[in-house]
Amino acid sequence: MRESYIQRQRADHGRRAVAVLPIHYPKELLTALDLLAVEVWGPPGAPRGDAAGRIQTYVCPVARNALAFLASGGADVVDAALFPHTCDSIQQLATLAADFGGWSKPALTFLHPKGFGRPSSRRFLAEELRALAGKLEAVAGRRLEPERLSSAIRLHREIDAHRAALLDGRATLPLDDPDLYALLRRGEWLWPEDHLAELRDARRLLGTAARRDGVPVLVTGYVPEPIGALAVLNAAGAYVAADDYAAVGRRIVREQDDAIADPWDALVARYAAAPPCPTRAADQDARMRYLEGLLERSGARGVIVHVVKFCEPELFDVPAIRRTFAARGVPLLQLEGELERQLSGQTVTRLEAFAELLSGPGGRA
């Protein structure tokens, strides 16, 4: 589906495409340059092709699968690849893809500051954004116009506002969790205006369903794969009431649609306003306060930590998350996977047992 969509975008609109590795990157720059961003979260499943074994098995499956995918020609339809500095593994793919995987198209990098408490961090980010814009201009074959960048920022502000509204109001939305997340994740590869149209349609459904009577939970982790975990959770009588997935909630910037005097300043401000993420900063106290706020506002009765095996930035925060919610007496379930396409029977049983636990008196262990 994605390959045919990319080809249609090229044929109908003359748009070139860029494969983007997780997680945080200035999508507004690509939109302003009429470049289609197509995100590569793995993809799920066992890595395939000759390059599958060229990275150690103790490296996260996102990096291993991505190298195998690029090397096997899975992304040949795009015109370039962008590697944000999410972690050392993903950053190094920018060279490994060419050295080990035969990737011959432009491999761009984006270094975002690890922390945002100093003026130097803002200056560094501003310089990185402008440097990346120059590289993307070469891919797009056009110059970046400030007016188009301002328009792109406003477009993505509206998209984030709709995504936030859907997550906040999901209890009265006539969509189950797998359907909602499928909608939200289509933004990983759709042209932003196409995604916006879908979000507007979905938002009109808010309040049209009776309030859900299942057990609300908070989910934090990397990416909702396999999506079957959400289906099992729903079938067991629970639903995701608060989202802190890196692929979803942590990339929704909640900000006012203020006038844009300087689009570069507005872009830096959007980055600074994003929710706490261990791939962007190491301030665990700030992240724990944020997660506690999600728990309180959503009324979640339990926490699911859903991490990818060997994902160091996510795993570094797990002990702090466990301590934080143990101190509040909140039950917690930790799931660790390798981007499997299907859940194991053991994981299904654990999810069902956790939902049953939360359904008990007070929802406490």
Domains of the chain, earliest start first: 2-142 (3.40.50.11890), 211-363 (3.40.50.11900)
Q: What percent of the chain has pLDDT over 70?
A: 96
Q: Is the dihedral of CA 264, 35, 221, 110 positive or negative?
A: negative
pLDDT digit string (tens) for 146-162? 999 999 999 999 999 99
Give the chain's largest Cα–Cα span. Answer: 62
**pTM of the predicted model over 0.85:** yes
The pLDDT, as a whole number, for residue 49 is 63
In this structure, the number of other CB atoms found within 10 A of the CB of residue 148 comes to 18
* pLDDT exceeds cutoff 70 at 362: no
Average pLDDT of the segment spanning 302-323: 93
% residues pLDDT > 90 (the chain) = 71
pLDDT, tens digit, for every residue of 39-84? 999 777 766 666 666 777 788 888 888 888 888 888 899 999 999 9
